[in-house]
Amino acid sequence: MRDLIVAGNWKMNGSQQFVGEMLLALNKASFSEPVNAVVFPPSVYLHEAIQQAKAVKVGAQNLFYEKSGAFTGELSASMISDVGCEYVILGHSERRAIFGEDDLLVAKKVVAALENHITPILCVGETLEDRDGGKYADVIATQVKVGLSLLSTEQTSNVVIAYEPVWAIGTGQTASPLQAQEVHELIRNLVAELAGIEVSHNMSILYGGSVNAANAQELFSQPDIDGGLVGGASLKVDEFLAICSAAAEVLKR
């Protein structure tokens, strides 16, 4: 059975006080195995979040693929591994749209993460224009193919993919469970073509885009949706915990 992952991407939000309060509250909660709850604080708070986290794992929101050197403002994979990160979000649509990251750059980052034993969450997803123009399947296929293109089959087996339609991020307009399932199935079939059925069958594919406590269970009940990459709702502890419980409920059935 594939692990269900509930990943809370805090984006550029929070403070030392917020990190302390969130981790305190999360430490008091109980999470059903094998639901993996992971939080992604801004990088300046990674160390203290990792020191405080007991019940959840901690990941980074980005990395740069070079090992070290003159790359002002960047963090290497070995640095985020050194402080204890187990996951990293790569190719998020905000990185692609605001910071100009392309598929090949993202692919290099995926390699760097895996070489440092960090699980990359490779984000893919179409814009509203792509969807309305009927191009979404092609856009997503290219993002997946190039994003995984530098990996061996064994490396691919350690990747998590997150499908995040750009039009659903932070808008309150979630993809319907059927829309999401259609794309998740497409991604799983694509991974089967690239790396074989077994890798595809075992890969966790998360949905992201306005996930909340009210819609999580229906989304996670879809056969190819293995959890969520949650933005806004992960900043509210009760909401995040309710989403984790929704994942656990799906597992129980």
Q: Is 167 annotated as a binding residue?
A: no
Smallest separation, CB 153 to ligand G3H (Å): 27
- In angstroms, the first-to-last Cα distance of the chain is 13
Asked whether position 232 contacts ligand G3H by CB under 6 A, the answer is yes
Residue 199: how many CA atoms within 13 Å on its side-chain side? Answer: 21
Which long-range contacts (C-beta less than 8 Å, at least 24 apart) are formed by 139-143?
140/183, 140/186, 140/187, 141/186, 141/190, 142/103, 143/91, 143/103, 143/106
Smallest separation, CB 219 to ligand G3H (Å): 12
- The set of residues, in sequence order, having a beta carbon less than 8 Å from that of 248 and lying 6+ positions away, is 4, 31, 32, 35
Q: 94, 101, 126, 164: which is the annotated catalytic residue? A: 164
Question: Segment 134-193, which members bind ligand G3H (CB under 6 A)?
Answer: 164, 169-170
Asked whether position 200 contacts ligand G3H by CB under 6 A, the answer is no
Smallest separation, CB 216 to ligand G3H (Å): 11
Q: Is 249 a catalytic residue?
A: no
Asked whether position 61 contacts ligand G3H by CB under 6 A, the answer is no
Question: Segment 74-113, which members bind ligand G3H (CB under 6 A)?
Answer: 92
Q: Is 125 annotated as a binding residue?
A: no
Q: Is 210 annotated as a binding residue?
A: yes
Asked whether position 37 contacts ligand G3H by CB under 6 A, the answer is no
Backbone angles phi, psi at 163, to 5 degrees: -90, 115
Smallest separation, CB 121 to ligand G3H (Å): 9
Measure the CA–CA gap between 249 and 253, rounded to whole angstroms. 7
Q: What is the largest CA-CA distance in the chain?
A: 51
H or E stretch at 6: strand 4-9
Asked whether position 41 contacts ligand G3H by CB under 6 A, the answer is no
Binding residue positions: 9-11, 170, 210, 231-232
Residues marked active site are found at 92, 164
Contact positions vs ligand G3H (CB under 6 A): 9, 92, 164, 169-170, 208-211, 229-233
